[in-house]
Chains A and B, each alone.
Chain A
Amino acid sequence: MFGPGGVLFLLRHEMLLTWRNFRASGKGRHVRRAIFYSLMATFLGFGGYWVARILSAFEPQPTPIMLGIVGAVFAILVSIMLAQALMLITESLYQRGDLDLLLASPVPAWRVLTVRMSAIAINVGVFYLILTAAVFVWLPSLGGWAWLSFAPSILLLTLFSTALGLMVARLLFWLIGPRNTRVVAQILASVIGAAFFIASQLPRLLEEDETRSQAMRELFERLIAFFSDAASPLSLPARAAFGIGADGALWAASVLALYAAAVWWYAAGFAADAAAISGLGAPRRRRARGVRSMRGGVMATLVNKEWRLLRRDPLLLSQILLQLLYLLPLFLVFGTRLGDDGFDRFAAAGFASGFVLLVTSLAASLAWLTVSAEDAPDLLASAPVSRNRIERAKALAAGIPAAALLLPPAVGASIVVTPMTGFWLLLGGVAAILSTCFIAIWHQTPGNRKEFRRRTRGSLMLNLGRSFVALGWIGATALAVSGWALAAIVPALISLGLVLALHESRPRVLQT
């Protein structure tokens, strides 16, 4: 167990990798990192204190309402933990170099898998323990001792979520095969993770009147009944947390059994899954292309190449599209206010600025991929094409899809609202897209396409600059659409000024 190849040996390896990944994802130097973590600790400690104060005012009594609330909170936690676990499981499976090494060693595959999945449960668990520790540390001093009994429940929830994640991943492998599992699992993880956030915004689609209040009341009552009914297995986690009868032991035993079963089921197919993933490189036939496909100038060649690379990377595309999905609730907020009895200009302003935010976000993602995440920079640098031309083409490849996304709402706003609304939306959106693409060219953060999630690493000032430029255009659009076109000049000028400042602060590079 402790020797080389043993469970603890492997676990240590997993934990070391996790720690290194965590360190690698950190921003900046030691001082900046220390400041960041100090701020986070202060924020958590402060927030935790207030939560602990509120909790300490109550005795953890298992009343139906309390059971309902705790059950609902646990359900939200499980969904987020499941999303995390699913993401980690697929990542751990597709990190082929590491798995190849482990599977090629004389260590049994089941041991490798058990340790890896335990490491995932530990990762998820530690994260939530740190998060909840901010509350737990205050509870004794504030007289809320009784709430400490919830700590084991958090750990059990992480095991439960990891088990669910394992089962979902195994099921996906079985249903759609290894090639699609990675993409689908990651999309699923993101959707599950955001589900409660998006669902919480759905009531906004209803009219803000008695019907809405009634619907909310009914929903709340059903939830309470759902999570407090002793006959319902869904009430078990909450009842266990309150220490009702033997529910704690029953819940713990169920979770451990489920986890063991999930690991066993997963381990049974693990060798086959790993081999299938290894075989992902199997050739896929495509239709031969003729001479015609080679036509087009340098710009067309470059733009086509960027779009082709994007189209062929469903994982990347899904990550970009999910970013946009997270912004959906924003539209629900403003969309519902475009009432039937006349047009609310503030709602239109919110809607327009939401779209500017959306296209800016899309342009930023695409611009990083096309400009900074170039796979063959030397090839392009040695081509008889000027660097400016290459960068213009790359910016174009990033800007066109974002502009295309902007066009329908701009046309729609021109028809449904007023032509000027559509015009301001288009102007604000295009300005934001152009600024984003230019900044991406001036301040490149070279990286690998696989590092898409870490694309914003780098200078804090640069990230702030980018954000303020986008905010300026969003504000200007909102003001112009609201009918204060003159006032919109102020944020627009601020954005322009910042863009100029970022242009002047760009690193000087070899110009060829």
Chain B
Amino acid sequence: MTDALSVRALTKKFGAKTAVDALDLDVRAGELYALLGPNGAGKTTTLRMVAGLLRPDAGSIHIFGVDALADPIAAKRMLAWLPDEPALYDKLTAWEYLEFIAGLWGIGAKTAALRAEELLKFLGLWDNRDERTENFSRGMKQKTALAGALIHDPKLLMLDEPLTGLDAAIARQVKDLLQQRARGGGTVILTTHILDVAERVADRIGIIQHGKLLAEGTLDELRARAGGAGATLEDVYLRLVGAVEAGAA
């Protein structure tokens, strides 16, 4: 079966700093993959390269078998990218925002309208659909952006810190939506600082540091590698990251 995402020897440098260092990463279709790592580890840079927002210095990216560097348009058609700060148009209403994204992805009008209604209702934004997003709270903005990411039904959904700044109720809604999506056959990759979230929702977890993948696998596999039975993801994470820091020192 073709991987949803296959990254090989991916490298990105910013001046003298290597943000992503010959990274290899595979995410299977239909799984919810959490990418963990300390600040500046290269998580966001990796996902931005996959989304076509940054050109890698070296390496390859394949999305469902499509070479994202050779045919970025075909690759982008299959994916959605949700940054940590929702980028909305203040003067557009939630409905118009979705309408705009549907237009960009070339979704049929009827399908788009049905999908927009379904998403807005699920996310509790239906009553706010005709309000400009400039009036929205952070949580509402995040949910609108999420609806925008899902309106074209992407095969691969990538989210950068999707739960940052959300209250418990909205965070729960977002987590449910992501799990529902993975159960329905969609692939989700998310970066997060909240280890508890990764522990609860992710099928597999990758830990990245200094632009390299330190370890990956299910929670049990990671435990077996670095934590021992009964260890939490936090124990495993700190042990792995700490070991690298100690090695570097």
Contacts of B175 in A (CB 8 A): none
CB of B242 within 8 A of chain A? no
Cα–Cα, bound, A103→B83 (Å): 33
CB of A18 within 8 A of chain B? no
Tell me if A379 and B112 are in contact (CB < 8 A): no
Tell me if A312 and B74 are in contact (CB < 8 A): no
Cα–Cα, bound, A377→B88 (Å): 10
CB of B139 within 8 A of chain A? no
Tell me if A383 and B54 are in contact (CB < 8 A): no
CB of A100 within 8 A of chain B? no
Tell me if B99 and A293 are in contact (CB < 8 A): yes
Tell me if A294 and B112 are in contact (CB < 8 A): yes
Return A287 CB to nearest CB of chain B, in Å: 7
Question: Are A298 and B96 also in contact (CB < 8 A) when A384-B73, A384-B77 are?
Answer: no
Tell me if A286 and B101 are in contact (CB < 8 A): no
User: What 0/1 readout, one digit per residue, does chain B (118-141) give for beta carbons within 8 Å of chain A?
Assistant: 000000000011111011000000
Tell me if B76 and A312 are in contact (CB < 8 A): no
Cα–Cα, bound, A290→B129 (Å): 12
Tell me if B99 and A376 are in contact (CB < 8 A): no
- Interface residues of A, count at CB 8 A: 41
Tell me if A295 and B87 are in contact (CB < 8 A): no
CB of B102 within 8 A of chain A? yes
Among A300, A383, A384, which residue has its beta carbon within 8 angstroms of that of B74?
Answer: A384
Return B237 CB to nearest CB of chain A, in Å: 28
Contacts of B48 in A (CB 8 A): 378
Question: Are A382 and B81 also in contact (CB < 8 A) when A284-B132, A308-B91, A308-B92 are?
Answer: yes
Cα–Cα, bound, A490→B102 (Å): 47
User: What 0/1 readout, one digit per residue, does chain A (359-400) give for beta carbons within 8 Å of chain B?
Assistant: 000000000000000011111111111100000000000000
Tell me if A313 and B52 are in contact (CB < 8 A): no
How many contacts A-B (CB < 8 Å)? 114
CB of A404 within 8 A of chain B? no
Tell me if A376 and B131 are in contact (CB < 8 A): no
CB of A464 within 8 A of chain B? no
Among A285, A296, A382, A385, which residue has its beta carbon within 8 angstroms of that of B79?
Answer: A382
Tell me if A291 and B101 are in contact (CB < 8 A): no
Contacts of B104 in A (CB 8 A): 298, 301-302, 380, 383-385
Q: Which residue of A lies closest to B50 (CB)?
A: A382
Among B53, B96, B113, B134, which residue has its beta carbon within 8 angstroms of that of A308?
Answer: B96
Cα–Cα, bound, A312→B128 (Å): 18
List residues of B (48-66) whose CB comes within 8 Å of A's CBs.
Answer: 48, 51-55
Among A282, A287, A385, which residue has its beta carbon within 8 angstroms of that of B73?
Answer: A385
Return A331 CB to nearest CB of chain B, in Å: 32
Among B51, B90, B112, B130, which residue has its beta carbon within 8 angstroms of that of A287?
Answer: B130
Cα–Cα, bound, A283→B134 (Å): 9
Q: Which residue of A lies closest to B112 (CB)?
A: A294
Q: Which residue of A lies closest to B113 (CB)?
A: A291
14 contacts between A and B (CB under 8 A): A281-B135, A283-B128, A291-B112, A293-B99, A298-B106, A304-B100, A309-B92, A378-B81, A378-B83, A378-B87, A381-B51, A382-B52, A382-B79, A512-B76
Other A-B contacts than A308-B91, A384-B73, A512-B73, 7 sampled, CB-CB below 8 A, are: A286-B130, A291-B112, A305-B100, A378-B51, A382-B52, A384-B106, A512-B72
Q: A residues bordering B, Cβ < 8 Å?
A: 281-298, 300-302, 304-305, 308-309, 312-313, 375-386, 510, 512
Q: B residues bordering A, Cβ < 8 Å?
A: 48, 51-55, 72-74, 76-77, 79-81, 83, 87-93, 95-96, 99-107, 109-110, 112-113, 128-132, 134-135, 148
